[in-house]
Amino acid sequence: MYDTIVVGAGVAGCVLAGELARRGNKKVLVIEKRNHIAGNCYDEYDEYGIMVHVYGPHIFHTEYERVYEYLSQYTEWYEFGHEVHANVHGNIINVPFNLNTLHKVYDEEKAARLENKLVSSYGMDSRVPILTLKENEDPEVREVAEYVYENIFLRYTMKQWGKKPEEIDPNVTARVPVVISRDNRYFKDKYQGMPLQGYTAMFEKILDHDNIEVQTGTAAEELLTIKDDRIYYEGEVFDGPVIYTGLADELFGYEYGHLPYRSLKFKFEHYKKESFQGCSVVNYTVDEDYTRITEFKYLTGQVNTPETTIVKEYPEAYNGENTPYYSINNPDNDGVYAKYKAKADRIPNLYLLGRLAEYKYYNIDAIALRSLELADSLVRGSE
Ligand SMILES: Cc1cc2nc3c(=O)[nH]c(=O)nc-3n(C[C@H](O)[C@H](O)[C@H](O)COP(=O)(O)OP(=O)(O)OC[C@H]3O[C@@H](n4cnc5c(N)ncnc54)[C@H](O)[C@@H]3O)c2cc1C
């Protein structure tokens, strides 16, 4: 009945299903355990008519022409240069720390002096890791590094990952950049913005094909089983490609233990006023339990609404009940993952794809590219 089964209707699953159906002319079944498609990119209008991102703010940005052209077949774009601010004890500054930030942190005279020193030491448009700044012989330049470490990096990272200062990898700390530029954009990618009608609408179009059947509200375990390195669909051996984008440990019954993740709690708030913070994202890098506040209207361009909705993000441990968001990659956890991967590799028609199945962080564009490339090889293989 089906040539291919795709588990999960996130970015990875949708792109793959769409390509196999169109280019490969394959009959594809997509199984999704949530009651909606689009995975963590899922967006919807809330009860006040504001478009919100249910699993946290997602800004599309890419340098990959192929991904931009591919997605542009299914959406137009609201293009904008995403900026991020940080609230440091009530002072709103730009992040990453750049020349504009200098002028918000120090008085005019000191900021101008520091600007000259940074530009003459490192050159305009460079990104200088704070470790490099810390090695500068000028104490004022070293002071900038200290400010960034204390007020932008340290407490934010402790909240995000639930770590004590001594548990934070010094290699990560060393790489935190100061940007010698006046460009406030957070990403430098050529394309950045938001699907004009939202992500869900874009993925609906990708899945809208006669060769694709989507079953939401259905967990893979209800239809698929694995026994003796073979995959069974409703009790019958299934030899076509199975692309699995769910948790690798869950697929194999947690045989080698649970893979640790960081989770997030999202608290949505609605305000009967035009604006809450006047911009899309403010990181709380020193105070508060939440890491950031996103005001959706500035992300999606829906700015003409008289009211506004925001979301606060509270990092927390993953406990098996909440959503696994960020894999916690270290040699121990990666070693456990490698065992699951080796087990999957013994099943010739099983492909692990995506942020959960591959136990790694992917941006939208990176996983879209990887899915397009896997589709290339599957279509080629069946020609
Ligand atoms: C808070 C946050 C913010 C982010 N912001 C950005 C951003 O601004 N820009 C950007 O480029 N990237 C961002 N990302 C990354 C982005 O979310 C991922 O690139 C993307 O979600 C990966 O797609 P995926 O298909 O691999 O996984 P997912 O989107 O998680 O999709 C996997 C799907 O599989 C389903 N599934 C799992 N197990 C089963 C099962 N057993 N049976 C059936 N279905 C199953 C899940 O329900 C889910 O729908 C962000 C990530 C997080 C956590």
The reported pLDDT for the residue numbered 120 is: 95
Q: At what angle do helices 364-381 and 65-72 cross, to 10 degrees?
A: 80
Beta strand 84-88 with 281-284 is: parallel
Atom of ligand 1 nearest to the CA of 220: 42
- Please tell me if the CB atom of residue 31 comes closer than 6 angstroms to any atom of ligand 1: yes
- Given a contact cutoff of 8 angstroms between Cβ atoms, the answer to whether 267 and 311 are in contact is yes
What is the whole-number distance in angstroms between the Cα of residue 10 and the centre of ligand 1?
Answer: 6
The reported pLDDT for the residue numbered 382 is: 75
Q: Give me the phi and psi of 218, to 5 degrees please.
A: -130, 120
Atom of ligand 1 nearest to the CA of 221: 41
Residue whose Cα lies nearest atom 52 of ligand 1: it is 325
Question: Which one of 42, 245, 313 would you pick to mutate in the ligand 1 pocket, going by the greatest count of ligand atoms within 8 A of its CB?
Answer: 245
Alpha-carbon distance of 126 to 119, in angstroms, equals: 9
Rounded to a whole number of angstroms, the CA Rg of the chain reads: 23
Q: At what angle do helices 108-122 and 139-148 cross, to 10 degrees?
A: 100
- Please tell me if the CB atom of residue 259 comes closer than 6 angstroms to any atom of ligand 1: no
- Given a contact cutoff of 8 angstroms between Cβ atoms, the answer to whether 316 and 57 are in contact is no
pLDDT string in tens for the chain (383-residue length): 999 999 999 999 999 999 999 999 999 999 999 999 999 999 999 999 999 999 999 999 999 999 999 999 999 999 989 999 999 999 999 999 999 999 999 999 999 999 999 999 999 999 999 999 999 999 999 999 999 999 999 999 999 999 998 888 888 888 899 999 999 999 999 999 999 999 999 999 999 999 999 999 999 999 999 999 999 999 999 999 999 999 999 999 999 999 999 999 999 999 999 999 999 999 999 999 999 999 999 999 999 999 999 999 999 999 999 999 999 999 999 999 999 999 999 999 999 999 999 999 999 999 999 999 999 999 998 76
Read off the pTM: 0.96
- Please tell me if the CB atom of residue 220 comes closer than 6 angstroms to any atom of ligand 1: yes
Question: Which one of 40, 298, 300, 370 would you pick to mutate in the ligand 1 pocket, going by the greatest count of ligand atoms within 8 A of its CB?
Answer: 40
Atom of ligand 1 nearest to the CA of 362: 19
Continuous segment of H or E residues that includes residue 3: none
The reported pLDDT for the residue numbered 56 is: 97
- Please tell me if the CB atom of residue 354 comes closer than 6 angstroms to any atom of ligand 1: yes
- Please tell me if the CB atom of residue 29 comes closer than 6 angstroms to any atom of ligand 1: no
The reported pLDDT for the residue numbered 383 is: 63
Atom of ligand 1 nearest to the CA of 59: 8
Nearest to 321 by CA among 377, 376, 258: 258
First to last CA, the chain: 19
- Please tell me if the CB atom of residue 179 comes closer than 6 angstroms to any atom of ligand 1: no
- Please tell me if the CB atom of residue 7 comes closer than 6 angstroms to any atom of ligand 1: yes
What is the whole-number distance in angstroms between the Cα of residue 245 and the centre of ligand 1?
Answer: 9
Domains identified in the chain and CATH numbers: 4-81+193-258+328-381 (3.40.50.720), 84-179 (no CATH)
What is the whole-number distance in angstroms between the Cα of residue 244 and the centre of ligand 1?
Answer: 13
What one-character DSSP code corresponds to residue 166? G
What is the whole-number distance in angstroms between the Cα of residue 99 and the centre of ligand 1?
Answer: 34
